[in-house]
Amino acid sequence: MIGISIAAQTEWEVVLNKFNINIKDCNPFPFGEYFKTNLYGEDVIFYRCGVRKMNCSASTQYMIDHFNLDKIIVAGTCAGIDDKYKNLDIFFPNKLVQYDCTVKETEPLIKDSFTVYLDMSNYNNLNIGTLGTADKPVVMWKDYLELKENNIKVADTESAAIAYICKANNVECVVIKGISDFPTNENESTKEDSHAGQLNVFLTNIPIIMNNIIDNYLEFAIKNHFSYLEYKPEKVSIRR
């Protein structure tokens, strides 16, 4: 069975509406809800994993254990970092990093031990690159600049953690993310106004992105195989 992981409540509501599912008809589990259906000849289970790394990691392990999943598709929104992309672009990361796992003042921001590599070499027509995950969303301008300096293309609060759990369980994983918003420089207004403006753009773009993923990308993700690339983690030392 294939699991389709949805993080945010607002993203989940779009999925329920798309499949004409009432929340009362979903089955509860400790971190959210789920429903089963058949898509493109495959049995799938859509589930709301919850936001941030703790909820999504626990949800991923729960679903693998209880439903014997052999693939998980992560579908949702993300913040844009690389400005060669724009809002609503769809992104398939081939490198997923957890960038909040280091002492960044003395260590590299990204460590191989918290990184998952996916083989996307056969899909040259997709937007690919590095997705960064942390428990804090990218809102402040200084955080945005830091990720940009480290060649992170898009960022969210779930995907790299989900991929990490999938790889540990030898479960196939692919991530489909649509860019919902870009951080704005709060120095040009106020931190509060900047955050509010970014949030409004995010909320406006959620249904557009989720419907696009369901209509145009889920079949591709379901029918194709995505493997992990093996690598030898580098030894990390303290910067002097």
Percent of the chain with pLDDT over 90: 82
Q: What is the pLDDT of residue 57?
A: 97
Contacts of residue 24, Cβ cutoff 8 Å, sequence gap at least 6 = none
**Cβ-contact 174, 73 below 8 angstroms:** yes
What are the tens digits of pLDDT across the range 174-183?
999 999 999 9
What are the tens digits of pLDDT across the range 190-202?
888 888 888 888 9
Q: What does the alpha-carbon distance between residue 214 and residue 192 come to, in Å, rounded to a whole number? A: 33
Q: What is the pLDDT of residue 240?
A: 63
Bridge partners (DSSP) listed for residue 44: 2, 37
Other C-beta atoms lying within 10 Å of the C-beta of residue 198: 20
Question: Residue 70 above 80 pLDDT?
Answer: yes
DSSP letter for 208, please: H
Model confidence band, residue 157 (pLDDT cutoffs 50, 70, 90): very high
Residue ranges of domains in the chain: 2-223
What topology is assigned to 2-223 in CATH? Rossmann fold (3.40.50)
**Cβ-contact 88, 209 below 8 angstroms:** yes
Model confidence band, residue 236 (pLDDT cutoffs 50, 70, 90): low
Question: Residue 128 above 70 pLDDT?
Answer: yes
The predicted model gives 104-132 an average pLDDT of 92
Q: What is the pLDDT of residue 237?
A: 67
